[in-house]
Amino acid sequence: MVFVVDGDAAVRRSLRFALGIDGFRVETYSDAESFLRFAERAERACLVVDHHLADMTGVDLIERLRARDWTIPFILTVTNPSPALVRRVTAAGIALVEKPLLGNALLDQIREAFAPASNIPH
């Protein structure tokens, strides 16, 4: 399962479509609070979250999930990250993919998130 949290409806639709073509199950959410309210923990999952959400930052969401003992891989997407943000997410073990989402950078990170298993969950 790939959870996507992004305030941009076009990004959510694009990622649902593209990741679906690649065989992933995808759930999308428009904001952090919706994700926190409705998402059910999945054993084999990863979270792709935009840093600039309307209700909190992507890093804040990840920190809240970790406080709830979520141990899935986290991938933060952001446009022009500051050096301080890069250091913060790197130190926290969060993968970072810069927007715009060109090429296979995000898909490569998602595949890497599932790499320890013998196969990618579809």
pLDDT tens readout for residues 19-63:
999 999 999 999 999 999 999 988 899 999 999 999 999 999 999
pLDDT tens readout for residues 4-16:
999 999 999 999 9
Question: DSSP assignment, residue 97?
Answer: E
Is 122's pLDDT higher than 50? Answer: no
Summary mean pLDDT of the chain: 92
* pLDDT at site 87: 96
Q: Are the CB atoms for 36 and 56 separated by under 8 Å?
A: no
Domain extent listing, the chain: 2-113
> Residue type at 79?
T
Residue 115, H or E segment: none
| In 1-122, alpha helices (H) | 9-21, 32-38, 58-67, 83-91, 105-113
Which CATH number fits the domain 2-113, given the four candidates 3.40.50.2300, 3.30.450.90, 3.50.50.60, 3.40.50.2000? 3.40.50.2300
